[in-house]
Chains A and B, each alone.
Chain A
């Protein structure tokens, strides 16, 4: 089976084909070290490790009110501060990946939202960026055999970029109508532009929905608040994708387990990355699920970081065995991403374990 066929069976059809999938995210700053350790210079991680999913990065279209306004406003030796199309400023590392520091936010009040919502209404082709490049990328992906996903940033992620955590979470209590309007406008915007983009470029095999809903201990907000303010819009987006025959992958960091029944009810097809340090457990989720979904991740990256093959095996092998026994549709990945502290030989070993032990037929 090709990668596309394997992931389609796992995620769209919730079946267990001949093997599990393999996917991974790598921090860009590990490349120089890995090249010194034997990774061919400039090698694609996807090709070198023969991974199954080819994502098109979420920045392929803009959901900011001011299109093309992003610019660097300050920098030092190690970081730079960028102002985005919401007028928010964030500090990023220059030479490594990581969540940015929120410096200031452009959307601080409901009045500011009234001014910013207008440019978000209706279709604006500039939001789709470089369509010719996207078409070329899509054609290249289509010639290959990997499962093609388009990444899409979702509502809570967008609100956090626009207004920050504190204003967002306070507004959920003090101004719920504002949050509802924001989510309605942004969902309309995303659906309108994704619909047009797919007609202009072509359909991928799935949509990868980026939406951090939790931190290490629990969701940012209660299940009741999620149901009242956010979930109806998520459900609308998932219905849109399903109507096109596209399964929906959901990335959410943190302990999202209290929201799991609601995510199942809106039709999420695959949950990722199942952070172990936040208490997520793929076996427990699969046992509690009221319907079948697929899972990606859940292998504790702290075991990778020991660079000790025995500790890595102690983390990976029992989990793969349990997943195999329970016949859970599963794609192997660390529980978020591989940082620069992991040696190339360690990841190669993990990759080997995933391919050798991540097979379902042994359970038959």
Chain B
């Protein structure tokens, strides 16, 4: 099992103490990808409680749902994002963390439904027209959801009209455009231009193997990042949460 970046041993059942310790256990369980007691991953924690049980126990102990979300689940994803950015964590570990996170979100569903918990905002994602690749977009989606964003995934081969319709319907804080192909970069530029013409308040984030910061600047995108954490940092720093839908905002900081 990989080492947790947070202090202390990995999640151990029936040792949860005060709320702060329980929240740390939830965070560690997310980080190492321990979804629930039945999960065989990580092998070293077979039979131990995972995020599902720990979250349930925290709720039963009266820990506020918002604290579980932010100090447990989201906090647990942070080292995963950092490790992925640094190249020390890989997709299988990210997927395990995402599964563990989903197990926690499942426990929190009633609190989202009641309005006690809110998503940070909404992001529309899609691969641009002419391109059928989607793994990069899926990875970004995992990290966005893991950080409390609601994601509307439009899929692949999305023309500008599909993005504009989704923006009109969902009023997202940001739109993420993905492409793997050099041949569809022109289509990305056109989509970005049309979004900015109609919805200047919506942040446009671009990514994909051939994309560069220079290209992102040239097409008027608000953010380019070579990794999901950069998009998260941009969203956190760009005032997109809650206030994002006020029109006429100036572009936020661009990732290096």
Contact = CB atoms under 8 A, between A and B. Distances in A.
A102 B132 CA distance: 8
Interface string A97-116: 01111100000000000000
Interface in B117-139: 131-136, 138
Most B CB within 10 A of own CB, among A172, A275, A302: A172
Contacts of B183: 305, 339-341
A221 B90 contact: yes
A225 B41 CA distance: 14
B40 A341 contact: no
Interface in B46-97: 87, 89-93, 95-96
A275 B209 CA distance: 10
A218 B182 contact: no
Interface string A173-194: 1110000000000000000000
A98 B182 contact: no
A91 interface: yes
Contact of B91 (A169, A339, A340): A169
A307 interface: no
B10 interface: no
Nearest to A175: B40
Contact of A339 (B41, B138, B181): B181
B151 to A, nearest CB: 15
B148 interface: no
A98 B41 contact: no
A169 B210 contact: no
B209 A220 contact: no
Nearest to A225: B92
B209 A278 contact: yes
Interface of A: 79, 91, 93, 98-102, 165-166, 169-170, 172-175, 215-222, 225, 258, 275, 277-278, 301-302, 305, 339-341
7 contacts: A79-B157, A165-B138, A174-B40, A215-B136, A216-B180, A218-B90, A277-B210
A26 to B, nearest CB: 13
Contact of B95 (A91, A169, A218): A169
B172 interface: no
A265 B33 CA distance: 31
Category for how many chain B residues contact A: 20 to 34
B182 A305 contact: yes
Say whether chain B's binding surface is mostly helix, strand, loop, or mixed.
loop
Contacts of A340: 183
A31 to B, nearest CB: 15
Say whether chain A's binding surface is mostly helix, strand, loop, or mixed.
mixed
B226 A217 contact: yes
B39 A277 contact: no
B219 interface: no
Contact of B210 (A166, A258, A302): A302
B166 interface: no
A277 B210 CA distance: 6
Interface of B: 33, 39-42, 87, 89-93, 95-96, 99, 131-136, 138, 156-157, 180-183, 208-210, 226-227
Nearest to B227: A217
B182 A301 contact: yes
Most A CB within 10 A of own CB, among B87, B133, B208, B209: B209
Nearest to A168: B92
B90 A225 contact: yes
B209 A173 contact: no
A101 B134 CA distance: 8
A258 B133 CA distance: 23
B95 A221 contact: no
A91 B87 contact: no
B51 to A, nearest CB: 15
A173 B95 contact: yes
A170 B40 CA distance: 11
A220 B91 contact: yes
B90 A219 contact: yes
Contacts of B90: 218-222, 225
Nearest to A222: B90
Most A CB within 10 A of own CB, among B39, B99, B132: B132
B157 A277 contact: no
Most A CB within 10 A of own CB, among B90, B99, B134, B183: B90
Contacts of A225: 90, 92
B182 to A, nearest CB: 6
A301 B209 CA distance: 13
Contacts of A220: 90-92
Contacts of A221: 90-92
B62 to A, nearest CB: 33
A218 B135 CA distance: 13
A222 B84 CA distance: 11
Contact of A173 (B96, B132, B138, B227): B96
Given A165-B138, A173-B41, A277-B209, A98 B91 contact: no
Given A165-B138, A301-B182, A170 B132 contact: no
Nearest to B210: A277
